[in-house]
Amino acid sequence: MTTEKLPNGNIESAKQVGNLVAFHRKEQGLTQADLAGLAQTGTRFISDLENGKGTVQFDKVMLILNLLGLDIRITERS
């Protein structure tokens, strides 16, 4: 897997979100199966998400970010 830098600024792609999810999941010592269990979803969804699949459902993404203690903020472009 190509190690990509984590986005410090704005999110521009689903792949960046996937990287964030994978990073913070591991940071908390969780496997994909763990996170899938917490989110009441399947491991395939977690895998898809972490690999940057853009067509995943929006609310599921929000749920995962929430479970990992990540906040989403939307602001006007400066």
Partner DNA sequence: TATTATAATTCCCGAACGGGAATAAAAATT
Partner DNA sequence: AATTTTTATTCCCGTTCGGGAATTATAATA
Complex with DNA: residue 9 or 60, whichever CB lies closer: 60
The residues that touch DNA, with contacts defined as CB under 7 A, are 1, 22, 25-26, 31-33, 41-48, 50-51, 53, 55-57, 60
Token pair of 56 as six digits: 């995943």
Complex with a second copy: residue 1 or 74, whichever CB lies closer: 74
The DSSP 8-state label assigned to residue 31 in this structure reads -
CA 78/CA 63 separation, integer angstroms = 27
Is the separation of the CB atoms in 47 and 32 below 8 Å?
yes
Q: Given the rule CB under 8 A, which residues bind a second copy?
A: 7, 9-14, 17, 20, 24, 54-59, 61-62, 65-66, 69-78
